[in-house]
Amino acid sequence: MRNFIIDTDTASDDAVALVMALRQPDIDVKAITVVAGNVPLSQGLQNALYTAELCCASVPVYAGCAKPLLRDLETAEIVHGDDGMGDIGLPLGGRQPAPGHAADVLRQAVNANAGDITLVTLGPLTNVALALLREPELASRVSRCVIMGGIGTGHGNVTPTAEFNIWVDPEAAKIVYESGMDITMVGWDISWQFVTFDADQADEIRGIGTPLAEFVIDIQKTLTEFSMRENALAGFDLPDPIVMAAAIDPSICQYERFRVDVTTGDGLARGITVVDRLGVTGREPNVDVAVSADRAAFVELLQRSVS
């Protein structure tokens, strides 16, 4: 068994990533920790709890930080719907998280599985940064940290140069990227290029006919409308699921190692992942950056997860 911790700001694409992890027979998800990001913390918790319940998984879900380290929270309901899950009428309320704060749980789970734990982050890095501030040595005990965040190359999705998760809490991201942790970054550029689904491709997944197959497509309703209107995509893309796929099977993406730094300014200088592709800074590379993905392998993994 492989040990995972998943840190998420659970909305529609996060939920698909959770399904993929929870349905793998060789992965033991030690904890799901929730951070504010796509939606406020309370909504993200309900979405994670509902998804785990749908997968018949007994994994504990913990509440974490309700706002970034130094900034006010800015959310993305316009992308994922008011409930973060496409506003399709799911019963997303009344479930209780496990007791304890996500940052403390992260520390405990990493220490209990030191050297044998994969940390997958699907939202802003606030919880992870807080855990590292309390215990910097955690960085060396995580075997691999796979981050949905930033941009390896190309344009952003919240500013021309920034991706949402890093932009929401750039100070937290800077702490994590500079921690010495073994980081793999799968940016938004990989998602929209390799795992966008048009209507026919979405119907193919939904046509598997299981409740999970219907769930992972139906909750993309608001995301589909936004992505086609604002991002000029043919349908919806799946940023968090391609990250989870890379965590489950690293061969699904291809990587190059670069120095990556995070800007913490304001305006257009906020939350940029500066990828030093030419080595002009002379600084030691610190991140394995995904540069491409195998779409067919991703789709096969997604289909298997919901079948």
DSSP letters for 18-36: HHHHHT-TTEEEEEEEE-S
pLDDT at 177: 98
For residue 161, the tally of other CB atoms under 10 A from its CB is 18
How far apart are alpha carbons 298 and 243 in whole angstroms?
10
Retrieve residue 148's tokens: 């949905």
CATH code at 2-306: 3.90.245.10
Q: What is the pTM of this model?
A: 0.98
Residue 152 in contact with residue 289, Cβ under 8 Å? yes
Cβ(47)–Cβ(85) below 8 Å: yes
User: 114-159, pLDDT tens digit by residue?
Assistant: 999 999 999 999 999 999 999 999 999 999 999 999 999 999 999 9
Rounded to 5 degrees, φ, ψ at 67 are -155, 160
pLDDT tens per residue, range 231-276: 999 999 999 999 999 999 999 999 999 999 999 999 999 999 999 9
> What pLDDT is stored for residue 135 in this prediction?
98
The pLDDT > 90 percentage for the chain reads 100
Q: Among all chains, which residue has been given the structure tokens 């730094």?
A: 261
Give the largest Cα separation in the chain, rounded: 53
Who contacts 296 (Cβ-Cβ below 8 Å, separation ≥6)?
none
**Residue whose C-alpha is closest to residue 123's, from 155, 149, 157, 86:** 149
CB-based contact 125:119 (threshold 8 Å): no
Query: pLDDT tens digits for 278-303?
Result: 999 999 999 999 999 999 999 999 99
Domain limits, the chain? 2-306
- Give dist(CA 182, CA 193) in Å, integer: 25
* Backbone angles phi and psi of 268, in degrees to 5: -70, -10
* 253-264 and 118-121 strand pairing: unpaired
Per residue in 158-195, pLDDT tens?
999 999 999 999 999 999 999 999 999 999 999 999 99
